[in-house]
Every structure is written in C-alpha cells, then in structure tokens.
A and B are shown apart, each in its own frame.
Chain A
Amino acid sequence: MNALVRPLESLGRATLGAFAGVGYAAALLWESLYFAAFGWRIGQPLRLRAVIEQMRQIGVDALAIVALLALTIGVMLGIQFIAALSEFGAQSQVVVAVAKSVTREFGALITAILVAGRSGSALAARIGSMNVSQEVDALATMGIEPVRYLAAPALIAMLIMLPVLTVLADAVAIVGAALYSSPALNVTPTAYILQTLSLLTPGDVWQGIAKSAVFAVLITLIGVSTGFSVSGGAEGVGRATTRAVVLSICWIIVVDMVFSFFLNR
C-alpha cells in the first residue's frame, strides 16, 4: 500500500508546490507593477535611484560580455550557414538566414540566458541572504515593503535593459557574421551589413524585443521568488541560486519555443 501511495503523495506535493510557486510569482509581478505605478500614493514610492542602480548592474555591467558572446554567435552562424547553404550553391542566402535567425531568435535567447546566469542568480542570492539574515524582516518592520524595495526596481530595470541588450546583441552578432562571411561571399562587410538592413523588416526586430521583455519578467520573477522563499542558511542560499538559474533558463527556452511557434504561423 505504502509503495503505491508514496509516489502519488510526492507527485501531489510537487504539483501543489509548482502551482504555489507560479501563484507566488504572479502575485509578485502584480505587486511589483502596482508599487511601480501607484506606490507613491500609499507611501511606498519606487525610487528612481534604485532602478538606475539595478539598470547598471543588469545592463551596463553586462555590455562587454553580451557583445563578446553575440560576436561569437554571429561568427558561428556565419560558419554554419555558409557550410550548409553552399551545399546547394546558395551562399548568398547566408545574409538573410543570419539576419532573420539573429533578430528573431538568437539575439534575445543568448542575451536572456546570459542575464539569467548573471543577474537572475545575483537577485536570488542577494534576496536569499537578506532573508536569512533577517534583513527582509527589518525592511518590513521599518515600513519599507520588501517587494517595493527589492523586487520592483529589479523588474523595471530588467524590462528596460534586457530589450536594450538584445538589440545590441542583434547588431553585434550581425557584424560578427559580416566579418566572417563577407570574404567568402566576395563582398565588403559594409555591403553585407547594408544588405542585411535592406532585408530586415521591423517585425523581425520586434519579435526579438517582445520575447526579451517576456524573458525579463521570467528572470526577475524566478530570481526574486526563489530568493524570498530561501530557508536554511547559507546552504539554502546556494540551492536557491542554482535553482533560479536552472529554472530561468528552462523557462526561457520553453517560452521561446512557444513564442516562435505562434509568431511564425
């Protein structure tokens, strides 16, 4: 009997836990947006300084690494597309293939994964350790809503910076592809880039930007909610950090697939 009940019981617990997690994240999203919009009315204003500080940590500090990775991805895509398309003698299609796949897919995806690793984990670790050392309680008793003080600035900053980073990644990746592919295509890099610009539609770029906004919400909510639910000291903080990164990246990839499906029908 026990052998039958146990797995069912743990399945039930896990399901309930997952639903509770999603519900908690939704409540966090609502509260963060509420404080951002109406916080000043109830004495809980969102501080511009906190948002700017978060924007620096999430966005500006990530510029170099995002650019470097995007450049690498661009070169890699150039290599692969030239190799694959030259089998059909269609090298010239490399330009459009790179342009569309970068703006619609890779720019947003790579940036989001990188930011999840950098800032999602940092959010979880920071809030988690604050939770463990009672700093979150201290904020609450001082009349400073922890969600307003810790979550809302991160959410707003992420919503601004992730799309910005994505556009940057798009541009750099295309430059990377241009640098590699233009000799193979017998054009100058400038000509390659000009051709890319003429082939791209605003819709392509918007697709990436729309995705990145959704990723921004996912990364922040997962980071913040795992941080707030930390218990069990330093080990708990470590576990939360890992969990935040793994969960964010899983969600990013799944949501990306779903978006791609619906946006390309």
Chain B
Amino acid sequence: MNATVPLIEVEQLEAWYGRRRILNGVDFTVNAGEIRVIMGGSGSGKSTLLRHLLGLHKPRSGWVRLLGVDIARAGERQMLDVRRQIGVSFQGGALLTSLSVGDNVALPLREHTNLDEATIRIMSRLKLEVVNLGGFQDLMPAQLSGGMIKRAALARAIAMDPKLLFFDEPSAGLDPVVSAELDELILRLRDALRMTIVVVTHELESAFKIADTITVLDQGDILMTGTVDAVRQCDNERIQDLLNRRPREIQVDADAYLKRLTEEAA
C-alpha cells in the first residue's frame, strides 16, 4: 500500500438516528503512522462516527474509505480483508465472556489463520505480554479488573498485527494511574508496531498526551483538526469550553420551550 494514501478517508458523512441528525457532512482523513484523537463532549457524535468508521453502520450519505476500500460498497471478501487489518478495542472491552482471556486473544488468529495450535498459543501469549498481562491467559474475563479488561481487549485488537487500531474511550472508568499506563501502552504500540491509531475520548489529559493530531467534534460538526498545540491555542469558543471544562450556556427559546412542555406526542 502506498504510504501517501490516507488510511482513513471520510467524505461528507451524514448519520441519522430516526429523525435526528447526528453527523452533518463530516470530512475526515487519517494518515499512516499518526495517532489521531477524536475528541468531543457527550452527544457530539464521536461514538457514531466511530461506528461508521468500523463499518457497523451504513452511512446515509457520504463515503467511508478504510485502507482505500469504500466499506459501504465493498463485497464480503473485500470487507473481510479490511477487517483483518484493523483492530478495535471497545469501551467496555467486549471480551467474549464465555472464553478465557487467552482464547479471546487467540480468537482472531484461530478464525483467520491456518496456524497450528502451538503457534497460536505462543502468539496470543506474546500479545498478552505486550499489554503486561503475561500469565493471565487462563482467567475468565469476569475475573479481571476494569484496567485489565481494557488491556486484554487491546491484546485481542492487536492479535492480527493490524495496520489500523481503533480505541474507544481508553480511560473511561479507570483510575488516573491505570489510564496513564494505558496511554503509555498506546504510544509504545505505535512506536514498536508502527500502527496507525485512532482514539475516541473525552479525557483531555490523555488526549493531549498521546495525540499527534486531534479532531474536535461538536454536535455533529468537526470544529477543527490540528496538532495538540494548535488545538490548545485555538480561539474557538466551544473548543475552549471543552478544554477549560466550562459549562455550556444554553440559550432558552421561550416558544420552543413552551411547545415542548405542552406537546402531546413527539
């Protein structure tokens, strides 16, 4: 693959839930080798954007291209090929609760490769070592702590040595030390394994620590994409609100307010 072709290209992506528009024509590009953080408050549409990037939702209009493949229009074979080259670590880990930690990590290898069982075992243990979970392969996910679940999920996500790694809310629900460790781990992965990493988060500290570039999303629009310094110095009011944890000033429209209160059915 040509290094100059962006790994992720999103053009004019629109997303709707029912009659509510979540993303208003988003344009978005991620180049090989960078760590991109998608930042935004709750309800900014960042999770929806991520689900579109992962191909879990079909865009209402617009294009999502991963590794040069238009994922809404790709055939099954092509899509499978793309999916083998991406890894995803979900917010809650999403480890299969019926499988042990080791089997979870080995799952992509068992499903997508013809390696023999001994090799798969060694490879999955190696990945667990990478995330500092060596020796935990026989535990069940229910026996792990929150931080360990995230690390195990990360181990599974990198099992196939993906080109592109997605990480949803790495520090949500973790104490500061553990989340700092996870940040270190993400940086190490990029340096050691040359991965392109997309992180979705609302944690400022972690975002500034790991990001090469940051995309700030607000109410379905991209406010800006830039380096950490550019975002810090940006004078956009909404971005500064987000950075300085200022509450939004909500303008109340008296007519709309009354209408909402008295309306019978939505």
| Chain B residues packing against A (C-beta within 8 Å) | 51, 54-56, 76-77, 79-80, 83-84, 86, 88, 90-92, 94-98, 107-108, 111-112, 156, 166, 264
Contact = CB atoms under 8 A, between A and B. Distances in A.
Given A42-B76, A43-B112, A143 B84 contact: yes
Contacts of B166: 141
A138 B108 CA distance: 11
Interface in A215-261: none
A141 B79 CA distance: 10
Contacts of B264: 2
A203 to B, nearest CB: 42
Contacts of A143: 79-80, 83-84, 108, 111-112
A143 B77 CA distance: 10
B77 A141 contact: no
B86 A141 contact: yes
A138 B80 contact: no
B108 A142 contact: yes
A138 B90 contact: yes
A134 interface: yes
A233 B104 CA distance: 23
A204 interface: no
A135 interface: yes
Given A43-B112, A142-B108, A143-B108, A137 B76 contact: no
A137 B108 contact: no
A126 B84 CA distance: 26
Contact of B92 (A2, A126, A134, A142): A134
A2 B94 CA distance: 45
Given A43-B112, A142-B108, A143-B111, A134 B97 contact: no
B54 A141 contact: yes
A89 B59 CA distance: 74
Main SS class of interface, A = helix
Given A134-B92, A135-B94, A142 B107 contact: yes
A227 to B, nearest CB: 14
Interface residues of A, number: 18
Nearest to B88: A141
Contacts of B95: 135, 138
B83 A134 contact: no
Nearest to A134: B94
Contacts of A2: 264
Contacts of B96: 130, 135, 138-139
Nearest to B77: A42
Contact of B80 (A42, A130, A133, A134): A42
B56 to A, nearest CB: 6
Contacts of B76: 42, 44
A144 B90 contact: no
24 contacts: A2-B264, A42-B77, A42-B80, A44-B76, A129-B97, A133-B92, A134-B92, A135-B94, A137-B51, A137-B56, A137-B90, A137-B94, A138-B88, A138-B90, A138-B96, A140-B55, A141-B55, A141-B83, A141-B88, A141-B166, A142-B83, A142-B88, A143-B111, A144-B108
A144 B79 CA distance: 11
Given A44-B80, A135-B97, 14 more contacts: A42-B77, A43-B77, A43-B80, A130-B97, A133-B94, A134-B94, A135-B96, A137-B54, A137-B94, A138-B95, A139-B96, A140-B55, A141-B83, A142-B88
Contacts of A137: 51, 54, 56, 90, 94
Interface in A1-20: 2
B135 to A, nearest CB: 24
B146 to A, nearest CB: 13
Interface in A56-98: none
